[in-house]
Amino acid sequence: MYNLVTVLGWEERFMLGLKHILNNFTLEKITLIRFEDYLSMSNMNHNYESIIELSKKYNFDIVEINLQYNDSIKSWNILEDYFSEVNNNYLFNITTIPRETIWTLFFFLKRKLQSLNYIYFRPKKYCNEWLTKNHKFPRLLFKHSGLFDLNKKLALFVIAGFDNARLEQLIDFYEPSKIVIFYQNGNYFKNIDRDEKFYSFIKRFDHEIVKINTYDVQETTNKIFDQFLTYKNEYNIIIDSQGPKISAMSVYDVYLKSEEKIGLAYVAAKDFNSKYSEGIDLEFIFGEFKFPVYE
């Protein structure tokens, strides 16, 4: 029986994914993280009430953790308190967990667990309009700023997403000497116009593009870590994931493998499109994330 850890979402795939989990796994409890500053978004209240009804049908408990997306320190402290005691039967539905929250949770769990299970659902499609906007200034995750040598230049590693404006803000803020872009390969959500805009945008910078499949966690980890080994002697490295949420796990795995020398950065958004995605791909991605063993 699993303790499902998930973040209340407004997307259609949130409830579709939860129902699919309930049909394929036995849940003892849902640890439901709610960001109170986004509860007014459409479908949030409906999805919350639906979870209550599902708990009666499938006989699982609900433990709520209320956070503030715009107060990262308060959220950090609340999560630290809750996960001070852990168990070995977690199932993380990372589909709607913000990247910085994924990294924060992994920080608290990495010295207490050997591994945890995760599940991720792709949507059928993303919105053709904006996904996020009004981005905040980039920032390094608390206690994950890396080790920096003043004699080295700065390299910025970025898993590219759908928003060039978000990427440009990151580049302008850090002004790196080198940019390594990890760009989705294959036909996932193929958008020729988006690809053309991306290549036109990035050619203005000193950059290298590495093709990856973000949905293959181990392959993505290996490719990013190979680039870390290539650049670590000459550059300080900051890495940011703007791709699918599942790529945040590869980033954290590289962070651990680098002996925490890489800085983890993220660009938070103030506004999210209420029609962020449509539908769900029921061929979910399920796996085990293994933490290093500390002596």
Range of the domain at 243: 132-272
Candidate from 130-144, 148-162, 257-271 with smallest mean pLDDT: 130-144
Candidate from 14-18, 203-207, 270-274 with smallest mean pLDDT: 270-274
In a domain, 295, yes or no: no
Average pLDDT of every residue of the chain:
89
d(CA 4, CA 242) in angstroms, rounded, equals 24
In a domain, 245, yes or no: yes
Q: C-alpha dihedral over 143, 176, 136, 124, to 10 degrees?
A: -90
Check residue 261 and give its pLDDT.
95
In a domain, 244, yes or no: yes
**61 Cβ partners below 8 Å, 6+ apart?**
28, 29, 30, 55
In a domain, 177, yes or no: yes
Read off the pLDDT of each residue in 257-274 and give the average, rounded to a whole number. 84
Least Cα distance to 79 among 60, 100, 48, 61 occurs for 100
Between 86 and 60, residue with greater pLDDT? 60
Whether residues 146 and 251 fall in one domain: yes
Q: What is the CATH number of the domain that holds 152?
A: 3.40.50.11700
Whether residues 266 and 237 fall in one domain: yes
User: Binning pLDDT at 50, 70 and 90, where does residue 42 land?
Assistant: confident
Least Cα distance to 97 among 125, 75, 130, 126 occurs for 75
Whether residues 268 and 142 fall in one domain: yes
Read off the pLDDT of each residue in 122-151 and give the average, rounded to a whole number. 82
Whether residues 144 and 189 fall in one domain: yes
In a domain, 184, yes or no: yes
Tally the domains of the chain.
2
CB neighbour class for 135 (10 Å; exposed up to 12, middle 13-18, buried from 19) = middle
Whether residues 89 and 138 fall in one domain: no
Check residue 295 and give its pLDDT.
47
Q: Which two tokens stand for residue 248?
A: 């945040």
Taking only the tens place, the pLDDT of each residue in 58-74 is: 999 999 999 998 888 99
Whether residues 7 and 93 fall in one domain: yes
Whether residues 83 and 194 fall in one domain: no
Handedness of CA 204, 206, 212, 215 (dihedral sign): negative
Whether residues 34 and 114 fall in one domain: yes
Whether residues 144 and 268 fall in one domain: yes
